[in-house]
Every structure is written in structure tokens, then in C-alpha cells.
Amino acid sequence: MRYDLNLLPVFLALMEERSVTRAAARLGITQPALSNSLNRLRETLRDPLFIRERYGIKPTQLAEEIAPTIEAALAQLDDLVFNQQEFRPAEAERLFTIAPNSYAELVLMPALAARMLELAPGIKLRMTPFGNDLAETGIVSGTTAMVLGRIVDPPDNLVVQHLMDDGLACVVRRNHPEIGDHISREQFESLKHVNVLPPGRLRAGLFQALGQQNLKREVAVSVTHFLAVPEMLVVTDYCATLPRLICRSLERDPRLKVLPPPVDLGTFPVQMAWHLRYRHDPAHRWLRSMIGELAREMTAKET
């Protein structure tokens, strides 16, 4: 019997999205085209596979049973094909979708874009949001090349690599009336603070570090991205505690000054994760090596 392997990614997208609309958008095809593929799958497997519900679709028992086998089979086929390919960065033309958290997007992505322009000008990068749910980034299905940030409780089909560790520093406006060349514990606790609440799990690191040191902080303003902090600080007497690699760029702003925290707040990890099916893909391996190299270069400058 002959099988159409193009139907298998459709099946996996429907399993993960539980929506024909979202699955079609993820695969970059129209809803009628996806529905046609689903009908062919149903004919082949002699099962409805997905049942319509009020808020989407629900897999049948057969669909639940065969999903792990189909995912493993696609991963093995990818490995077989990728191992036969040779990747030439200078000649390559392709698009990589990456899901960085707000820290990685600000710290790593500009350097990666510059490196791509130098070594692989035909490669395009597309950023997609990094949220609390890894499945929403597309990394679990393999439609996204990688995620960058704090990876918590990854599923079994992801490979996680530690990239680097970063620490924390304090930032205030340069002409702050109370803060000179250092900030004491008493000053830190008496000031009002700007807090960053990016999507994902990075937010937990600072709260845990403050708790471990029994360091109090009164948050006056919470923002959703690091880029909002400098403009908030220059018009107030607030303080912000930010990753050191972000503070490195803020040191060039004459309106601000960066100071060591009053106590040791430790470090937090930055990680990279990718789908198992891309572990041997030459292009993906090259991209991951570039990101790893950039992370090593950045942390070397801190020592």
C-alpha cells in the first residue's frame, strides 16, 4: 500500500493545535487544503481521527494511540535525509523561526543578525513570541527552529543546551539625588523600583534571588519589556535590577549609571532548546553553533 508522507505533518499539527484554523496557519496552507488532507488521512486509516467540538477538535482514541509512532517516524526520516545533506552558509537561502524570550531577543539576536549578514546573507531570521506554553512557540511540533531563554519542564522531544549564565546589576538615572557610586542595602530597600515582567519563566529568577537574600523591594511600576526601563528611569528616582548583559548596553546611555547590587544576587541560566528531528540537520547545527559561539564571546567579555 502506498502512503502520502505529506499527510503526517498535517496529523501532528492537528494533534497539537486541536484546531483546523491554527493548524493550517502553522503549516502555511489554506483551511480547505488542510481539510482535504485530513479527509485523505481518514480514508487511509479508516477512522475519523478528530471529532468537532464547540471550541475546536478532539482526537479519537486511535489518533491518540498512533501519534507517538508518527512523530518518531518523522524524526527518523528527518535524520536520514539531513545526514545526506551538506550545508554551505554563504550560499544558503532559507528562513529560520526562533522564539527568544525578551532577554535573549535583546542580548543575542542583534549579534546573531550581524553574524548572519557576514557569513550567511541569504539566511533570514523570524522571531516569534516566547510565552509560558512552549507548545505555542511551535517548538514542540518542530515548526520553530529553537527557543532561547529559561526552559522549564521541557517535553521529551526537545533537546536542551545550556548557553551561558548572567548576573544582575542595578540601574538608576545618572543625576539621582540619593545614589552615588554605589547603592547600599538600605538605599535599595528605601527606593521605589521598576520591575520587568516578560513572558516566560525569567521573571522567577529575580524574585527568588531577592527572597534568598531577604532583600525587600517596593515595586512602583511593572513593564513588559526591558526596552521600557531606561525611559522610565530617566524621568523618575526609581531603580531597576536588570541582567548584566543588558546593563552593558545601558552603560553607553549618558543619562544612566549602572551599579553592583547591594548583595550578591547570584546568576540565572540562559538555555537553547530544539526539536529532536533537527539534531542532525546541518543547517540547524550550524545555526546552533553560531548562537553558542556568540554566547561564549559575550560571557568572556564579562570576565
pLDDT digits (tens, 9 = 90+) for 161-171: 999 999 999 99
Task: Please tell me the distance from the alpha carbon of residue 88 to that of residue 12, in angstroms, as a whole number.
Answer: 30
Q: Which three cell numbers stand for residue 71?
A: 512523530
Q: Quick check: 200 pLDDT over 70? A: no
Cβ atoms of 123 and 291 within 8 Å: the answer is no
Instruction: Tell me the pLDDT tens digit for each residue of 206-233.
Output: 778 888 889 999 999 999 889 999 999 9
Q: Please give the C-alpha separations between residue 261 and each of 237, 258, 264, in angstroms, as whole numbers.
A: 16, 9, 7
Q: Does this chain's domain 7-82 share its CATH topology with 94-162+272-302?
A: no
For residue 80, name the pLDDT band (cuts at 50, 70, 90): low
**CA-wise closest residue to 149 among 167, 168, 164, 170:** 164
| CATH architecture, range 7-82 | Orthogonal Bundle (1.10)
**Contact predicate 241/172, CB 8 Å:** no
Enumerate residues 6+ apart whose C-beta is below 8 A from 139: 99, 146, 147, 158, 273, 274, 275
Answer CATH for 94-162+272-302 from 3.40.50.970, 3.30.1330.60, 3.40.190.10, 3.40.1190.20: 3.40.190.10
Angstrom CA distances, 91 to 110, 144, 283, stand at 22, 22, 12
For the chain, what is the total number of helices (H) and then of strands (E)?
12, 12
Integer-rounded Cα radius of gyration of the chain: 23
Grid coordinates representing 129?
513570541
SS3 49: coil
Closest CA to 110 of 95, 93, 98: 98
Topology of 168-266 in CATH? D-Maltodextrin-Binding Protein; domain 2 (3.40.190)
Domain boundaries of the chain, sorted by first residue: 7-82, 94-162+272-302, 168-266
pLDDT band at 172 (very low <50, low <70, confident <90, very high): very high
**What's the whole-number mean pLDDT along residues 296-301?**
88
Rounded to an integer, the average pLDDT of 239-255 is: 95
Provide the pLDDT for residue 72: 78
pLDDT tens-digit readout, 13-63: 888 888 888 888 878 788 888 889 899 989 888 999 999 887 788 999 998
